[in-house]
Amino acid sequence: MRDANTLVAVVLAGGGHRDRLARAVGVESKAHVPLGGVPLGEYVLAALRAADSVGRTVYVGDPQGSFAGLYDVRVPAGERLVDSLALGAGAALAQAGDPRWLLIVTADVPWLTGAAVERFVAAAKTLTGQDGAPARLVYPIVTEADARAQFPLQDRTYAALADGRFTGGNLVLLSADAVPALLPLMERAYRNRKNPLALARLVGLGTLVKLVLGRASVPQLERRVSRLLGAPARALVSHDACLAADVDRLEQLPGTLTADLPHRAAPADLARRT
């Protein structure tokens, strides 16, 4: 059963023609790029509809196409990512019932499923910081082994850490009361999410050196980000590679796991289950 007072999802679907892939395909934004005959964003919205932990969904972007009915509130995208984040978060926090959690998701992870969202949210809510306080920001990371096993045709970017090699996810769970302090850092982290060195520069020279040497660990990065935020932040190692399997380049579209799509219910069918 859904609890609209607990969690609101915010789907970032802006970018417009500024996005290279959208321009190449000739659509309004990346969310409208078709895969298996269905826009990327529709898969994401349908997965959120199938996740009982998601009470309501805010769509940040153009509502064109069959997306109508798959979200509860729409706001226009901003000029920059941080603007879209602020607009989407503001709309989410304005929902009735004072939501306690926000789930920020990009609209370009078409293999996302409701079950994967549920597993991530449930596990994220159990995490605590070093002081035992609940984590206020949780970001999923996927091991290279899981990503390659589940999406062998996709070329990902991996960060080599002391704990292993990981790729970053395309969603983040954060507590509602932490939004004002987190927005600027989230914008910088998302912009550089596929550039491990840029991410390291964000958290300090010492971390950069350790990352180059492959000696940085997940707990070290968590502690550094927590200090930057002034609140507990955690990375969650997930076995659901669909959390990180986005579509960024034209060459990722033809034949990229399209054979897997018929094994999922169509997005419209997922939406009707709610």
Q: Encode pLDDT of 190-228 as tens digits.
A: 667 667 677 666 767 566 666 566 777 888 888 888 888
If one compares 205 and 96, the residue with the highest pLDDT of the two is 96
Give the C-alpha separation, 121 to 54, whole Å.
Answer: 9
Give the C-alpha separation, 161 to 169, whole Å.
Answer: 16
Q: What separation in angstroms does the CA of 112 have from each of 75, 141, 226, 230?
A: 22, 14, 27, 31
What is the mean pLDDT of the segment spanning 15-32? 80
If one compares 221 and 188, the residue with the highest pLDDT of the two is 221
Q: Which helix (H) or strand (E) holds 190?
A: helix 179-191
Q: Is 44 exposed, middle or buried (0-12, 13-18, 19+ CB in 10 A)?
A: buried
Tell me the β-bridge partners of 38. 35
Does 169 have pLDDT greater than 80?
yes
What is the mean pLDDT of the segment spanning 118-132? 93
Question: Looking at 73-210, which runs of residues are DSSP E strands?
Answer: 73-75, 101-106, 137-143, 159-161, 164-168, 171-175
Confidence category of residue 156, pLDDT binned at 50, 70, 90? confident
Neighbour-count burial for 47-75, b at 16+ CB within 10 Å, e otherwise = bbbbbebbbbbbbbbbeebebeebbbbbb
Reported pTM: 0.84
| Token representation of residue 140 | 């999923």
